[in-house]
Structure 1
Amino acid sequence: MEKFAHLRHLEITNQCELVVQLNMVFQDIHIDEEIHSVRNIEDTLGSLRTHTRNKLIKIITDKSAETKDQSEISTYNIPILFKRKLKHSKVLSDDISLKTLLLEDLGKTVVVIFDQEFKLLVNPPLIKSINLPSILYATFSVQPLKFYGLFTDKSSSEFSWFRSKDKITWEKVGSAYDYPISEDDLGYYLKVVCIPVSQKKIRGSPVEIISPRPVQKFPELPRCPFEVRHEYTKDLLQTKDFRFVTYNILSNRYTELNDTFSYCPLEALAIDYRKQLILKELVGYNADIICLQEVDNREFNTYFNTKLADEGYISKYHRKGNNLTEGLLCAMKKSRYKLLSYQQLVYANAIHTKKMFAPLYSLLKKEQSLKNLFMKQSTSLQTTVLKCKEVKRIVVIGNTHLYYHPDATTVRLIQAYMATMYLSYVKERMEQEWKNFVVDVIFCGDFNSSPGGLVYKFLCEGTIPRDDEFHLYFSGNAQWNFTHKLNFISACGTPKYTNYTNDFKSCLDYIFIQRGEIEVKRVIPLPEEELEKYVGLPNEVYPSDHIALVCDLQFKQN
């Protein structure tokens, strides 16, 4: 049976790793180990051979501590060779760099350790992580979670699903990335086996994962506190009035395989449970415009997009940073609005690619540690432009979820400032294009900023005082002025809570509207006293750790 050795380029650390599964007997010592040798990509083949030999000596030493003379072991001849097998075998020179080795076609190269030969595969696919949800409900589909591979093309990789009552005898039930769980699967454990395949069609070693619990029956949904809020939103608004919702719905990315919400039963934390409540809550608000944060890419494609369309909405979605598995969604009633445009601005990308941000980027470059932190973030601004069908108004909607870290106020301020710059730019552009229309800006989302903080102060006051600590980051740049002229007010004020967990409870979410252009007719009451009955959210009746902000707004007369 052919044996393989794997040589991979570890791009993040710029290293080269050799992996060999060695199974042999050496002087009465049984070796059954996976050997990992790692060197810098600029090192030589000789360095890799020496490192691999030292690894083997360490293994033999550990296994023979009581029976062998340790000084004798260090002198053992452990032959390790790299050979090109053509018509005549040729031993590769120790002077070859590992970078060169990775770039060459090594289809005929073998690694020889003692008398065992291993065919060398360069950058073969490898599954680094794969999991299944903690809870599996019948009638919902399932797919691997946190699937991450090196040199792996997911679309080419092979997936097989099996079920078993006892985790001993397995029956094959599926052969795709997704598996639709049926009522027939109740009480069965599920197992997925993945064979990774690279874009070059190289096949890697298979991996498998078994569900931690058997498939369960989906429970009957309880009556939830948001249904009390629905008593205020039974009516459909018309002409100048419209209902607006912003809501961080808590991504499955942050709940699965994470004990942050350990106070919530796993059955209620499962996305297949929570998304039912989220949809029920959203539909009951009869909103005209909905902005969501932390929407899972998969759940948008397989659930929310279709379900919201059934309710008369057009939904536009952007993955956060264009690369994460969660992101921003804006949905609007197609009976009341025409969608003019939608796009996403990734702050870290835009700051050095868009001309309008060039002075800000020059300033940021003078603070290297701050710049490094800022540029690492995937934080984004989703911008949606709507034309009202009943009145001559254009609405520019900014939807964002600012960087979360409690000690990163300055990063959030720069992100908020960039958002106001860009929203102002879009507003001016729309005013030029739609000269007979009034153009309004609404800026909403999860700002990860409490009332009275600098972000809130900046957005509502339009500036940051010169004596504020924020400016300490920019010493010597007194000419810089962080301002905007959007004249924002918080439509829902500053509720006691919009985020409620066991270790943090505050107001982080807002709907900012332009004073004098739009007025607040009604804010749908938040369940502040009700929340205080709980350790934290989510739970069986609250599907997120945030509370939706809902308000009825009205365009002022032209």
Structure 2
Amino acid sequence: MSQSPARLCAAALLLLPSRTCPGAEGALSPLRKKRRSALRGCLWQNLRGCAGDGLTAAGPGRAVCSMGSSTSRLYSALAKTLGSSGSAVPQQCLEQPCQEQLEPIDPKELLEECQEVLQGRPARFHRDFVTLKNCFSSNRHHPIRVMQWNILAQALGEGKDNFIKCPMEALKWEERKYLILEEILTYQPDVLCLQEVDHYWDTFQPMLSRLGYQCTFLPKPWSPCLEVECNNGPDGCALFFLQDRFQLVSSSKLRLTARTLQTNQVAIAETLQCRETGRLICVVVTHLKARTGWERFRSAQGSDLLRNLQDITEGAKIPLIICGDFNAEPTEDVYKHFASSSLNLNSAYKVLSVDGQSEPPYTTWNIRPSGESCHTLDYIWYSQHALNVNAALDLLTEEQIGPNRLPSFNYPSDHMSLVCDFSFSEDPDRLL
């Protein structure tokens, strides 16, 4: 007889040392205590999601973010997804999800629900696509739409990041998740690259898999989210692609190094075959070390990633798209390494500039206790010998962002999403 997911969740919790077990706490180092606490919180969250029995707290002192009303399509979809797997919901803490065929969700209906839930919020910003005049109209294949976005980890947004001009109410996950989903559903990317994902297992994987995406997640080895009370587990990078457009050829999960030191930053690189053209493309998502003073560290991480990609793409024989929050301005060495790499990369968002050679003035804009921060840190790099940029989504204006900056009631992250349409070049070797 199969057991219910709730029973399995409870069983999984029993695998952890009891808080009242004599000597159990004293035998653990402070670091292991933190990790064990985070794991217990992770399992409690899943117990709440699987049980669906009115529990109001995920264990002692752990509040749970509901997924919406029990009558909503989003809530029902997630409840059915979490309840459909009879095997351990602790999969949230594993690297490999159980790939299971689930009933698809109509993206239009889900977008409508997001908009209904967000009716009480200010109108969202309108952004236009800028189409390049020299894009190849003769290309008869559908463009590949790629979306890059640091969505702001929930634990950091409500905890460590301290956006002093953003009301806490605007950061509550109960509505902020709808803003994130609305942005994704509005632009309907074929490939989606996200950073600071700490609600992968309970939101993004179940929802996007049912929208037709294949999903991959790689958490940071030690996430700062775990230092926040009532966290939802570690944050990391996630890569999604539409299965009706691409077939997975290979997948690599990378822990970046700085010289010989293994670091806390990661990358996912997946080689995909386009079903329409039969051509290969390697898509990468990464998130480099943050903060001023770590420029040389980021440079070393970037060099390590480039070396790995040199091998994965067989020396640029496979075209590349690299999405990420590099935490680096264009003046930093890591940016220059990518711009001058033998992989022949170019930054897609330069197409928005008048001369086609300059990055946008900002991709993130926030206010913390240390002051106002306005920087260009996010990029979509691409193989310019094999791919063309057909269009790019314009960025928010200063007037749209407003004096309190990001995040806000209008926008869920302090980073803006970048969206580009690419096409394969008819002459892929022209610049090699």
| Mapping for residues 506-545 of structure 1, pairs under 5 Å | 506-531=375-400, 533-545=402-414
| Secondary structure of residue in 1 paired with 2:380 | strand
Q: Displacement of 1:533 after TM fit?
A: 2.2
Correspondence for 1:497 among 358, 362, 378: 362
Partner of 1:99: none
Partner of 2:171: 269
The answer to whether the aligner puts 1:344 opposite 2:253 as a matched pair is yes
Partner of 1:222: 121
Partner of 2:244: 335
Partner of 1:305: 205
Correspondence for 2:308 among 414, 419, 422: 422
Q: Displacement of 1:230 after TM fit?
A: 7.9
Q: Displacement of 1:497 after TM fit?
A: 1.2
Partner of 2:318: 439
| Mapping for residues 116-195 of structure 1, pairs under 5 Å | 121-124=22-25, 148=34, 154=40, 177=59
Instruction: Identify the structure with bigger relative contact order (alpha carbons < 8 Å, sequence gap 6+).
Output: 2
CA contact (8 A) 1:249 1:293 kept: yes
CA contact (8 A) 2:41 2:58 kept: no
Q: Displacement of 1:520 after TM fit?
A: 0.9
CA contact (8 A) 2:130 2:393 kept: no
Q: Which amino acid aligns with 1:263?
A: K
Partner of 1:109: none
CA contact (8 A) 1:240 1:391 kept: no
Partner of 2:104: none
Q: Displacement of 1:268 after TM fit?
A: 0.8
The answer to whether the aligner puts 1:294 opposite 2:196 as a matched pair is yes
Q: Displacement of 1:554 after TM fit?
A: 1.1
| Per-residue Cα deviation, 1:347-406 (whole angstroms, up to 9, x for no partner) | 24xx7xxxxxxxx53xxxxxxxxxxxx54x311111111111011311111211000021
Q: Distance in 2 between matches of 1:513 and 1:530?
A: 30
Q: Which amino acid aligns with 1:460?
A: A
Partner of 1:201: none
CA RMSD of aligned residues (A): 3.5
Correspondence for 1:397 among 283, 302, 317: 283
Partner of 2:159: 257
Q: Displacement of 1:154 after TM fit?
A: 2.6
Correspondence for 2:343 among 486, 509, 523: 486
Distance 1:241 1:174, change over 3 A: closer
TM-score, normalisation: structure 1: 0.52
Q: Which amino acid aligns with 1:489?
A: N
CA contact (8 A) 1:225 1:527 kept: no
Q: Distance in 1 between matches of 2:157 and 2:65?
A: 22
CA contact (8 A) 2:127 2:395 kept: no
Q: Displacement of 1:420 after TM fit?
A: 0.6
CA contact (8 A) 2:286 2:325 kept: yes
CA contact (8 A) 1:382 1:400 kept: yes
| Secondary structure of residue in 1 paired with 2:322 | strand
Q: Displacement of 1:221 after TM fit?
A: 4.8
The answer to whether the aligner puts 1:317 opposite 2:217 as a matched pair is yes
The answer to whether the aligner puts 1:381 opposite 2:267 as a matched pair is yes
Distance 1:153 1:263, change over 3 A: closer
Q: Which amino acid aligns with 1:488?
A: L
| Mapping for residues 76-87 of structure 1, pairs under 5 Å | none
Distance 1:336 1:301, change over 3 A: same
Distance 1:126 1:510, change over 3 A: same
Q: Distance in 2 between matches of 1:457 and 1:317?
A: 28
Q: Please state which structure has a larger fraction of its residues in strand.
A: 1
Q: Please state which structure has a larger fraction of its residues in helix.
A: 2
| Secondary structure of residue in 1 paired with 2:159 | coil
CA contact (8 A) 1:446 1:509 kept: yes
| Secondary structure of residue in 2 paired with 1:504 | strand
| Secondary structure of residue in 1 paired with 2:338 | helix
Q: Displacement of 1:496 after TM fit?
A: 1.2
| Per-residue Cα deviation, 1:501-541 (whole angstroms, up to 9, x for no partner) | 12210110000111221111111111123345232210000
Partner of 1:187: none
| Mapping for residues 58-77 of structure 1, pairs under 5 Å | none
Q: Distance in 1 between matches of 2:57 and 2:162?
A: 33
Count of matched residue pairs:
320
| Per-residue Cα deviation, 1:51-82 (whole angstroms, up to 9, x for no partner) | xxxxxxxxxxxxxxxxxxxxxxxxxxxxxxxx
Q: Displacement of 1:180 after TM fit?
A: 7.5
Q: Distance in 2 between matches of 1:152 and 1:518?
A: 42
Partner of 2:76: none
CA contact (8 A) 1:291 1:329 kept: yes
Partner of 2:12: none
Q: Which amino acid aligns with 1:122?
A: G
| Secondary structure of residue in 1 paired with 2:175 | helix
Q: Displacement of 1:308 after TM fit?
A: 1.5
| Secondary structure of residue in 1 paired with 2:305 | helix
Partner of 1:248: 150
Q: Which amino acid aligns with 1:382?
A: I
- Please list every run of at least 4 consecutive aligned residues from structure 1 whose deviation after the TM superposition is greater than 6 angstroms: 125-129, 149-153, 155-159
Partner of 1:141: none
Gaps of at least 5 residues in structure 1 are: 1-119, 130-146, 162-171, 185-217, 352-359, 362-373, 432-437, 463-484
CA contact (8 A) 1:128 1:150 kept: no
Q: Displacement of 1:286 after TM fit?
A: 1.8
Q: Distance in 2 between matches of 1:157 and 1:293?
A: 22
Q: Distance in 2 between matches of 1:541 and 1:156?
A: 29
CA contact (8 A) 1:125 1:152 kept: no
Gaps of at least 5 residues in structure 2 are: 1-20, 48-53, 71-116, 132-138, 227-233, 351-358, 428-432
Structure with bigger gyration radius: 1
CA contact (8 A) 1:398 1:442 kept: yes
